[in-house]
Structure 1
Amino acid sequence: MAFEDVVVGEARPYADKVVIEEYDPSWPDRYRALADQLHAVLGDTLRLVAHKGSTSVPGLAAKPIIDLVAAVTDSAAEPSYVPALEAVGYRLRVREPDWYQHRMLRKRIVDGADENAHLHVYTEGCPEIAKNLAFRDWLRAHPEDRDRYAEVKRELAKREWRYVQDYAEAKTEIIEDIIAKARAAGVEVPA
């Protein structure tokens, strides 16, 4: 399915270059502040929250956007969590009913939010959560793959992208290669 088919609101071309910054040791603290906020506003609706993506891997260069993965009882039941998230600056940006009922909400400082963040929401038990965390944990434990991934990201950042999602999708090959390596080493990673 094309990005234009799942985006909530207008699919606007990405006006800025993708910027990859060196690892910032403040990223884990920034994640913790966001996670605490999620616990406060969602209460028992929030079944899990974790730091994912490049900002969650010490030493890995990244776009300076904190990525979080969250589980709720039913991610398709947007009224149970989206209004509370909107009240603290998140905006629903992606709705993928055909892919694990995934929702992505974002906060942007340029829109008045306190932080730049992407929040990926799934239903509790979704295998995509375990896959994200297995990838993160592998990169944390294997600096050679972390550095190889960083190099691919830097190379891709030099290109022009219509949508930032195009940049994200261009990383699929290296991500799948690293996941295959983890599986070959005996790590249980959902398909």
Structure 2
Amino acid sequence: MPAFEEITRHHDENPDENPWVLGPPAPETVALVPYDPEWPRRYEALAADIRSALGDVVLDLDHIGSTSVEGLAAKDVVDIDLTVADPRDEDAYVPALERLGYLLVIREPSFHEHRALRLDRPRANLHVFGPDCPESIRHRMFRDWLRTHPDDRGRYEEAKRAAIPGGGTVMAYNLRKETVIREIYDRLFRAAGML
């Protein structure tokens, strides 16, 4: 388990690192839809396929992001955290995931060796991290907090809606939500006795 200070520290992108495996994404329209009770079932189906394709390479799988929080409006994209022994060993997981239709789009050595793969049908983002990664822990804590704190769930949804009019890439949309996300992290970390 990482130290509290590593979990609570916000990791900013390394401006000298180009994470885009296939080039930066084109701008896309961000559209929020009401919570869909099919999202957990979609995750379960995707997770079963990933486990079948990777076998023992899968150390952990988690449904994260807004589609994992009942009642929260979200983009119709299921986010999944996959834990493997070493994200740098792409040969251990990328070819098998490509056979399922996933495409490696992000490689971020400076950000916990994060890799991200995209599936177009159904839309899913698969985030790959190593064991005991602070970012995976943060994702689960944020999800679990929003599931049990309706006020912050509402604040987060408002921030998401307010971030849409700026247009641009999904990364730009995410940056416009960052202040509210960090405020929620601060509350949940303090409640957990980590700050």
Give the TM-score normalised by structure 1: 0.91
One-letter amino acid of the structure 2 residue matched with residue 175 of structure 1? I
1:38-187 to structure 2, matched below 5 A, reads: 38-109=50-121, 115-161=122-168, 163-186=169-192
Aligned residues of 1:4 and 1:11 also touching (Cα < 8 A): no
Per the TM alignment, residue 68 of structure 1 is displaced from its structure 2 partner at its CA by 0.3
The CA RMSD over aligned residues, in Å, is 1.6
Q: Distance in 1 between matches of 2:193 and 2:127?
A: 23
Partner of 2:48: 36
CA distance in 2, matches of 1:123, 1:170: 28
Residues 102-138 of structure 1: per-residue CA shift (max 9 Å, x gap): 00000013xxxxx100000001111111110000000
Distance 1:3 1:35 in 2: 34
Question: SS of the counterpart of 2:46?
Answer: helix
The SS at the match of 1:158 is helix
Read off the aligned partner of 1:9 and give its amino acid letter.
Answer: L
Is 1:10 matched up with 2:17? Answer: no
Counterparts in 2 of 1:44 and 1:187: CA distance versus 1, 3 Å: farther
Please tell me whether the aligned partners of residues 17 and 108 of structure 2 are also in contact (alpha carbons under 8 angstroms): no
Q: Which has the bigger relative contact order, CA under 8 A and spacing at least 6?
A: 2
Distance across 2 between alignment mates of 1:174 and 1:77 = 35
Identity %: 41
State yes or no: 1:21 paired with 2:28.
no
Does the 8 Å contact 1:75/1:123 carry over to 2?
A: yes
**CA–CA separation in structure 2 for the residues paired with 1:79 and 1:3:** 25
**2:103 partner amino acid:** R
Deviation at 1:10, TM superposition (A): 2.1
Aligned AA for 2:153? R
The amino acid that maps onto 2:86 is D
Give the SS at the match of 1:34.
helix
Gaps of 5+ in 1: 110-114
> Could you say what secondary structure the match of 2:63 adopts?
strand
The aligned length equals 182
